Structure 1
Amino acid sequence: MAFLEINRLEKSYGAMSVLKGINLAMEEGGFLVLVGPSGCGKSTLLNTIAGLESISSGEIKIAGRRVNDRRPSERDIAMVFQSYALYPNMTVAQNIAFGLEMRKVPKPERDKAVAEVAETLQIGHLLNRKPSQLSGGQRQRVAMGRALVRKPKLFLFDEPLSNLDAKLRVDMRTEIKRLHNSLGTTIVYVTHDQIEAMTLATKIAVLKDGHLQQFGTPAEIYNDPVNTFVADFMGSPPMNLVPGELVMSGKAYAVAIERDGTAPVVLPIANDRTVVSPAGQKVVLGIRPEAITDVDGADRNAKNVIRVSCRTEVVEPAGSDTFVVTRLGGKDVVARMRSDAAVKLHSTTDFAYNMDRAVLFDPASGNRVA
């Protein structure tokens, strides 16, 4: 049985529908990340789980118990906010212990719990400081400690790293991952950052305009997107989406893609892809940048690597990789090559397309067709 169940959840504000038939199920000890652009409904969904927002219809269950009509204090959850929400006049220890004090937990028990959480989060040396004396990362650890000390059934994080600088975000992301691995807690985490989603989650829910677009593991979301929105939103750089036409190459399907000043590129579809559209149908080819490489850097285990000569439009060295941009089908196509790949700007270069990794979408609906 799922630990967190959301069934046919709807949320409206008057005539405005914000969440539209959300269905999710999460196992105990999992790390669910709700991701999507601003305004997609992810924070509203988190707030309905917390009980901070009522729902219009549907059902929410936590540990098998229906919680639709239960107050936040009755749901056995703890929430970590974007703003930290620490009491400025209290010390770190007092902030962490405050919830236990409100529940009349005896002081010796409170002190023991605070010490254990402080050791876990490596903030023992900060217990006597005030929030104004802490860095952003330290404040976030204190906010996490205040949630952890209660030992709830479910932890909810609402964009907890968005106020931190880039390096500190990476460090805190690692800390949250380590904490989840060591404690085995069940977490629901909201972010608009798809890299956070991919690195932290055991399951990802991608939302757009209140609709659940796809729910699955990070690998499923990344490698098998169900539509062009998910393909474009998840990944940095995102998946290349190139317009083309289905053609027959012998007895097999291929995608013909126009290019300026020369014959179209014909890229055969991998044999394990089921193609339901007829030849002549317009399609969108989806292929990740790392599936387009220099010839020597191509995956040796791939069965369907096609060499294509294209003109380089942009060359971007990025340390461990070199990103190279060419044009196909009137679109910029990004390739991820080795850092020492011999690539020159505005020259004709051989690109290796790993078509084992390619997928096809319908250009009208955006939905996956192969």
Structure 2
Amino acid sequence: MTTAIEIKGLSKRFGAVDVLKNINLTLDKGGFLVLVGPSGCGKSTLLNTIAGLESVSAGEILIDGQPVNGLHPSKRDIAMVFQSYALYPNMSVAENIAFGMEMRKVPKEERDNAVASVARTLQIEHLLDRRPSQLSGGQRQRVAMGRALVRQPRVFLFDEPLSNLDAKLRIDMRVEIKRLHQQTGTTTVYVTHDQIEAMTLATRIAVLKDGEVQQVGSPGEIYNTPANLFVADFMGSPSMNLLKGRVAKNGSGAAISFAADGAPPVTLAAPTGADIGLLKDGDAIILGVRPEAVGDLQSIDRNAKTVASVDAPVEIVEPAGSDTFVVTRIAGQEITARMRADTDLKPGQVAHFAFNMDKAVLFDPASGNRIG
């Protein structure tokens, strides 16, 4: 694959504050990179440096192999979609979409054909004569996307485009954006603080915290093998269960032991993929396991190589339509399990919880990094 965007050693300072620190990223042509992280992590600033709306303090940005650091935004052949839509209120939808082409003196017939084509793609043909004030939030966002799409840029940049929409509309628009990317194949960089958006849209995800990239990978890699405790906790809803324990070596094997004052100790088999050779007996450890890897024996993957189980009291039951989330406590530590929708567990009941240890990972509590 041809590399469309390459970011090398990029840093950005505002005064004495380092907002971005030595960012290194690549995105293949036609890829969909999502920059995700909490508010203030630097993801929008990074997007703005790609767009040329912010200068860089150090490092280099290349688009299709061409350095663009000193290039004006209008010369970078990118199109940006903002959270605020930024539509002209006195223009119709068709005029809003065509405005950029009109400024570049594209002939009217070519403009009209391009607007019609984009309107078909976004299913807004019936809205072309309306003003922005007559549109819903989702319709306005489609128009903003149409204005970017009609330019046929090398790169699309999206800056939290769905954060002003209600929950159902966000889901609908996620589908539209994914469909648009599949149809056009345009290289896309997308900023969000919503990790569900990141997981559903991306071909690659970059997780940021305090101006630094914590991990880059496919949605599956980020979710199943988080590089550190921050990524494990931030990505996923509900987030990964993180349990503090100690290594219990037993000959060539190992287990993880959990103990708490006033609570009976619990021992679980070590995760299937853990490198036991890196661990010493008694080492402090953090076990990470996703809620869907905790359930009853019937719901656990029958192909799992290692399954551990424990009896524990049910504290909270949360029906969620397709699933039921059950909160329990093991050795004084809270755990969320994702059960079948028809589970009949009740608070106060002691239940049998099974752990798919093939899906579990270990973290070093000192560094926060994943082990193995």
TM-score range, shorter chain: over 0.9
Q: Which deviates further from its counterpart, 339-348 or 174-183?
A: 339-348
Give the aligned partner of residue 110 of structure 1: 111
Residues 245-301 of structure 1: CA deviation (Å, up to 9, x unaligned): 011134211110125655421111134321313111101110000000112111101
Return the offset for 1:234: 0.2
Give the aligned partner of residue 74 of structure 1: 75
Give the aligned partner of residue 4 of structure 2: 3
How many residues matched?
370
Q: Any idea what SS the aligned residue of 2:298 has?
A: helix
Matches within 5 A, 1:164-313: 164-258=165-259, 261=262, 263-275=264-276, 276-313=278-315
**Structure 2 unaligned blocks of 5 or more:** none
CA contact (8 A) 2:245 2:259 kept: yes
CA contact (8 A) 1:5 1:24 kept: yes
The letter of the residue matching 1:356 is D
> Alpha carbons of 1:329 and 1:24: their partners in 2 closer, same or farther (altered >3 Å)?
farther
The letter of the residue matching 1:315 is V
> Alpha carbons of 1:326 and 1:259: their partners in 2 closer, same or farther (altered >3 Å)?
farther
The letter of the residue matching 2:226 is P
CA contact (8 A) 2:271 2:361 kept: no
Give the aligned partner of residue 368 of structure 2: 366
Q: TM-score, normalised by structure 1?
A: 0.98
Residues 74-115 of structure 1: CA deviation (Å, up to 9, x unaligned): 100000000000000000000000000011100000000000
Return the offset for 1:235: 0.1
CA contact (8 A) 2:274 2:362 kept: no
Give the aligned partner of residue 98 of structure 2: 97
CA contact (8 A) 1:243 1:257 kept: yes
Q: Any idea what SS the aligned residue of 2:117 has?
A: helix
The letter of the residue matching 1:347 is Q
Residues 111-158 of structure 1: CA deviation (Å, up to 9, x unaligned): 000000000000011101000000000000000000000000000000
Matches within 5 A, 1:21-100: 21-100=22-101
Q: Alignment RMSD, CA only? A: 1.1
Give the aligned partner of residue 147 of structure 1: 148
Matches within 5 A, 1:318-357: 318-357=320-359
CA contact (8 A) 2:271 2:362 kept: no
CA contact (8 A) 1:8 1:57 kept: yes
CA distance in 1: counterparts of 2:78 and 2:30, whole angstroms: 14
CA contact (8 A) 1:156 1:189 kept: yes
Give me the identity figure in percent: 66
Residues 211-238 of structure 1: CA deviation (Å, up to 9, x unaligned): 0000000000000001000000000000
CA distance in 2: counterparts of 1:367 and 1:44, whole angstroms: 26
**Structure 1 unaligned blocks of 5 or more:** none
CA distance in 1: counterparts of 2:272 and 2:29, whole angstroms: 38
The letter of the residue matching 1:157 is F
The letter of the residue matching 1:144 is M
CA contact (8 A) 1:243 1:329 kept: no
